[in-house]
C-alpha cells in the first residue's frame, strides 16, 4: 500500500505478530520435551513426584502458549479493523467513481476487495505465514534428536516446496482468469435482473436468463480448469505429506531399536515433524485465497495511489450565487474516450434561467453533469462564480446545489431522510421543500407520511411520486443553482403543474435554474435557451430570439 500511515501501522502490527509467533513456536517445543521427559525420566525412575512436576510445568507453559496465541489473533483482528478504517473512505470514493462511470458492472467491487482483505487478515492464514518463518526451529530440534531425522525432514520440505511452487505457478495462470469470469457472470446476471420488468413484459426474460446462464457456465468451466490443473498436484502433496509422517516415525523407531535415540524420541519426532509442516499444509490449502487476496490488495493499492494523487481538500469558498460559465468544454463519460460535448461555451449570470434542448444523444444530460462537476472535462473549464468547478469541494458545494437527474431513484431510507439528503434532522426545511415541490399532500398520503421507508426493500412509489420527492430533495435548503434534467418524466397533470410552480418560485427568488428538456414547450418563459446538436452549440441566447425558431408559436407565449 502506498500510504505511509497504513504502511507504518501494518509494520507495527507485523512486528508485534512476529514477537507473538516467536513465543508461540518456542513454547510449542514443550510438548515433545514433555514426552521425552516422561519416557526417559519418569518411566525409568518410576517417580510420581517427577511426573507431577513435569506435568504442572508443561500445563503452565501450554497456558502461556494459549495466551500468546490469543494475543496474535487479537493483533490480526485489530490490523484487519485498522486497514478497513483507513481505506474505507477511499474505497467508497472509488465506488462513487465506478457509479459515475456507469456501465453494467458491479459498482461496489472495491468494497468486495476491502472485505476480502479484511477477512483474510482476521483469519488464521496470516498466522500460518508467520509460523512459516519458524519452521527451521523445529527442523533444528529434529537435528538435536538425531541428525538423520533432520536430514529426512529437510528432504521432505524441499520436495513438498517444489510441488507447492508448481501448484502456485499453475494456479497463478488460472485463478485470475477464473475469478474475473465469475465477476463477469455476476455483472451479466445483475444487469439482466435490473431490466426484469421489460423482459417479462416483452418476452425476452428467458433469453436473458440463458445469456446469464451461459456466462455462469463459462465461469464454472474456468474454475473447473483451475481445479483440475491444481487438484492433481494437491493430491500428490497430500499423499507425500501423509507418507512422510509415517516414514519419520519409522525412522525414529528404527533409531530407537538400535539404541541411537530413546523411546520418547519417537513421539517427540512425530510432534516436531507435524509442527514443522503445519504452516506448509495450511498455506498449500489456501493458495487460491492467497491469490485472490493478492489481487484485491493490488487493486486497493491502486485506489490509495489515486487518492494521494488527488491531493488535499480544496479551500473553502463563500456560498455561490449561481453564476456559471463554460469555455471550450470537451467532455465525455468518465473513463471513456469518446467526446460527447465538443467545444461548448456559454455564460449565465446569477439568477438567470436557461432551457437546454436538442435531439436525443445531443449531449444535454452530459452538459448537466459537467455543469454540476459530476463528470470531468477533458478540455476547457467550467466555472461557478468565477472559480474552477473542478477545484471546489463537492461536500461543501453540495448544499448549494439542487439536481433532478433524468433517471431518478431514491436511496433506502425514509422520505424525510431522502429530502434532507441524509443530513441533520430539520422537519421545517423538509416540509418547506416538499410544499415548494408540490409533494407535501402526496407524501402525507403515504403509509407513514414523511417516515415512510422507500428505496431498496422499502415502500414502492410510482415514477411520478419519486420524481416529485426528487424535486423536493433538489429544492431542500434553498440552493443557489438548480439543474433539472427532464424533470417532467413520469409526472401527471398535477405533477407538471407543481413543477411549473416550483420553477416559477425558483426564478422569483433569483436562483439560477437550468432545465434540460426533450420537449421545447417545457422551457418557454425561461430567460435563455441553448440548443445542442451532436455535442455542439447550435443556438444560444435570449428566449425571445431563440424559441421562435425552434418552437412554433413560442413568440406568443414568451412573457414581455
Q: Does 113 share its domain with 163?
A: yes
Give the residue from 277, 310, 343 where a domain finishes. Answer: 310
Residue 121 contacts by C-beta under 8 Å, 6 or more apart in sequence?
Answer: 76, 77, 79, 80, 83
Residue 319: inside a domain, yes or no? Answer: no
Q: Are residues 293 and 336 in the same domain?
A: no
> Are residues 463 and 337 part of one domain?
yes
**Domains in the chain: how many in total?**
2
Sheet of 481-485, strand order? 401-404, 481-485, 512-516, 353-357, 528-533, 536-542
Q: Tell me how far apart the alpha carbons of residues 251 and 228 are, in angstroms, rounded to a whole number.
A: 35
Q: Give SS3 for 516.
A: strand
The residue count for the chain: 560
Q: Which of 86, 84, 82, 76 is nearest to 121 (CA)?
A: 76
- On whether residue 18 sits in a domain, the answer given is yes
Q: Are residues 329 and 305 in the same domain?
A: no
Q: How far apart are CA 333 and CA 486, in angstroms?
A: 19
CB of 472 within 8 A of CB of 436? yes
CA 47 to chain centroid, in Å, comes to 63
- The range of the structural domain enclosing residue 511 comes to 324-556
Instruction: Please report the beta strands in 455-552, taking only residues with DSSP state E, as ranges in sequence order.
Output: 481-485, 512-516, 528-533, 536-542
One domain, residues 258 and 392:
no
- DSSP string over 368-398: HHHHTTSS-EEEEEEEETTEEGGGS-HHHHG
Q: What is the CATH number of the domain that holds 205?
A: 1.20.1560.10
Instruction: Judge whether 74 lies within some domain.
Output: yes
Claim to verify: residue 91 and residue 140 sit in the same structural domain: yes
Q: Are residues 396 and 511 in the same domain?
A: yes
Containing 32, the helix (H) or strand (E) segment is: helix 30-37
Please indicate, yes or no, if residue 317 is contained in any of the structural domains. Answer: no
Q: Give the whole-angstrom CA distance, residue 97 versus residue 280.
A: 40
Beta-strand pair 324-331/481-485: unpaired
Examine the fold and report which residue of 284, 310, 336 is the final residue of a domain before the chain moves on. Answer: 310
Q: Considering only CA atoms, which of 382, 273, 272, 401 is closest in space to residue 331?
A: 382
Domain boundary among 281, 310, 339: 310
Nearest Cα neighbor of 415 from 371, 469, 468, 467 is 469
The closest of 441, 432, 440, 365 to 403, measured between CA atoms, is 365
Verdict on whether the full-model pTM lies above 0.75: no
**Do residues 199 and 286 both lie within one domain?**
yes
pLDDT of residue 290: 79
Q: Are residues 340 and 297 in the same domain?
A: no
List of residues 6+ apart from 238 with CB closer than 8 A? none
Note whether 375 and 226 are same-domain residues.
no
Q: What would the pLDDT profile of 299-314 be if each residue is shown by its tens digit?
A: 777 765 555 555 455 6
- 11 belongs to a structural domain: yes
Nearest to 479 by CA among 373, 401, 396, 392: 401
Which segments within 129-227 are labelled E, that is strand? none
Coil, helix or strand at residue 520? helix
pLDDT in tens, the chain (560 residues): 445 555 556 677 788 888 888 999 999 999 899 988 888 888 878 888 888 999 999 999 999 999 999 999 898 888 888 888 878 877 877 777 666 665 444 455 777 888 888 888 888 888 888 888 899 999 999 999 999 999 999 998 888 878 777 766 666 666 666 767 777 777 777 777 766 766 676 676 777 788 778 878 877 887 777 666 666 667 777 788 788 889 999 999 999 888 898 888 898 999 999 888 888 877 777 777 777 788 788 877 776 555 555 545 566 667 888 899 999 999 988 777 789 999 999 999 999 999 999 888 889 989 999 998 888 899 999 999 888 888 888 888 888 999 998 888 888 889 999 999 988 889 999 999 999 988 999 999 998 999 998 876 556 788 888 889 999 999 998 889 999 988 887 777 877 888 888 888 888 888 999 999 877 777 888 899 999 999 999 999 998 888 887 665 544 443 43
- Do 269 and 360 lie in one domain? The reply is no
Place of cell 523445529: 138
CATH code, domain carrying 475: 3.40.50.300
Identify the CA nearest to 90 among candidates 305, 292, 393. 305
Q: Are 370 and 341 in contact (CB under 8 A)?
A: yes
Residue of 464, 388, 479 whose CA lies nearest to 432: 479
Distances (CA, A) of 202 to 195, 463, 511, 538: 11, 20, 44, 38
25 found inside a domain: yes
For residue 299, what pLDDT is reported?
Answer: 78
115 belongs to a structural domain:
yes
pLDDT score at 554: 47
- C-alpha cell, 3: 500510504
Residue 113 falls inside a structural domain: yes
Q: Do 331 and 291 fall into the same domain?
A: no
Cβ–Cβ < 8 Å for 110, 303: yes
Amino acid at each position: 500500500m502506498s500510504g505511509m500511515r497504513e504502511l507504518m501501522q501494518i509494520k507495527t502490527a507485523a512486528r508485534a505478530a512476529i514477537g507473538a509467533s516467536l513465543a508461540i513456536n518456542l513454547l510449542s517445543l514443550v510438548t515433545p520435551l514433555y514426552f521425552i521427559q516422561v519416557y526417559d525420566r519418569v518411566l525409568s525412575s518410576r517417580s510420581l513426584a517427577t511426573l507431577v512436576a513435569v506435568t504442572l510445568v508443561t500445563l503452565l507453559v501450554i497456558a502461556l502458549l494459549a495466551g500468546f496465541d490469543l494475543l496474535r489473533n487479537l493483533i490480526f483482528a485489530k490490523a484487519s479493523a485498522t486497514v478497513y478504517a483507513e481505506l474505507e473512505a477511499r474505497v467508497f470514493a472509488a465506488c462513487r467513481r465506478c457509479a459515475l462511470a456507469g456501465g453494467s458492472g458491479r459498482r461496489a467491487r472495491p468494497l468486495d476487495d476491502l472485505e476480502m482483505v479484511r477477512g483474510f487478515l482476521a483469519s488464521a492464514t496470516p498466522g500460518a505465514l508467520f509460523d512459516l518463518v519458524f519452521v527451521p526451529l523445529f527442523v533444528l530440534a529434529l537435528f538435536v534428536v538425531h541428525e538423520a531425522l533432520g536430514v529426512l525432514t529437510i528432504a521432505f520440505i524441499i520436495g513438498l516446496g517444489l510441488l507447492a511452487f508448481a501448484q502456485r505457478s499453475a494456479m497463478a495462470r488460472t485463478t485470475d482468469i477464473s475469478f474475473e469470469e465469475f465477476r463477469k457472470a455476476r455483472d451479466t446476471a445483475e444487469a439482466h435482473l435490473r431490466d426484469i420488468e421489460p423482459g417479462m413484459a416483452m418476452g425476452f426474460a428467458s433469453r436473458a436468463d440463458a445469456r446469464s446462464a451461459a456466462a455462469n457456465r463459462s465461469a464454472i468451466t474456468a474454475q473447473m480448469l483451475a481445479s483440475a490443473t491444481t487438484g492433481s498436484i494437491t493430491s500428490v502433496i497430500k499423499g507425500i505429506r501423509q507418507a512422510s509422517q509415517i516414514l519419520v516415525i519409522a525412522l525414529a523407531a528404527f533409531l530407537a531399536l538400535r539404541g541411537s535415540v530413546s523411546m520418547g524420541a519417537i513421539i517427540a519426532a512425530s510432534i516436531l515433524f507435524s509442527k514443522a509442516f503445519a504452516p506448509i499444509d495450511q498455506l498449500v490449502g489456501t493458495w487460491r485465497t492467497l491469490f485472490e487476496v493478492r489481487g484485491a490488495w493490488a487493486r486497493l493499492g491502486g485506489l490509495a495511489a489515486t487518492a494521494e494523487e488527488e491531493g488535499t481538500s480544496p479551500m473553502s469558498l463563500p456560498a455561490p450565487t449561481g453564476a456559471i460559465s463554460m469555455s471550450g468544454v470537451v467532455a465525455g463519460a468518465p473513463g471513456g474516450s469518446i467526446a460527447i460535448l465538443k467545444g461548448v461555451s456559454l455564460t449565465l449570470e446569477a439568477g438567470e434561467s436557461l432551457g437546454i434542448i436538442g435531439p436525443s444523444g445531443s449531449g444535454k444530460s452530459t452538459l448537466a453533469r459537467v455543469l454540476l462537476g459530476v463528470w470531468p472535462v477533458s478540455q476547457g473549464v467550467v466555472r461557478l462564480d468565477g472559480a474552477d468547478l473542478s477545484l471546489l469541494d463537492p461536500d461543501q458545494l453540495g448544499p448549494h446545489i439542487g439536481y433532478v437527474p433524468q433517471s431518478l431513484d431514491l436511496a433506502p431510507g425514509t422520505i424525510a431522510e431522502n429530502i434532507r439528503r441524509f443530513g441533520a434532522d430539520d422537519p421545517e426545511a423538509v416540509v418547506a421543500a416538499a410544499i415548494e415541490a408540490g409533494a407535501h399532500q402526496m407524501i402525507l398520503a403515504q403509509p407513514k407520511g414523511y417516515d415512510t421507508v422507500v428505496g431498496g426493500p422499502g415502500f414502492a412509489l410510482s415514477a411520478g411520486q419519486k420524481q416529485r420527492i426528487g424535486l423536493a430533495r433538489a429544492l431542500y435548503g434553498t440552493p443557489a443553482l438548480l439543474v433539472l434534467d427532464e424533470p417532467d418524466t413520469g409526472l401527471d397533470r398535477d405533477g407538471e403543474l407543481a413543477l411549473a410552480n416550483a420553477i416559477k418560485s425558483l426564478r422569483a427568488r433569483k436562483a439560477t435554474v437550468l432545465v434540460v428538456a426533450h420537449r421545447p414547450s417545457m422551457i418557454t418563459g425561461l430567460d435563455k435557451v441553448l440548443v445542442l446538436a451532436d455535442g455542439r452549440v447550435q443556438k444560444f441566447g435570449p428566449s425571445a430570439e431563440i424559441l421562435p425558431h425552434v418552437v412554433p408559436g413560442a413568440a406568443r407565449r414568451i412573457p414581455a
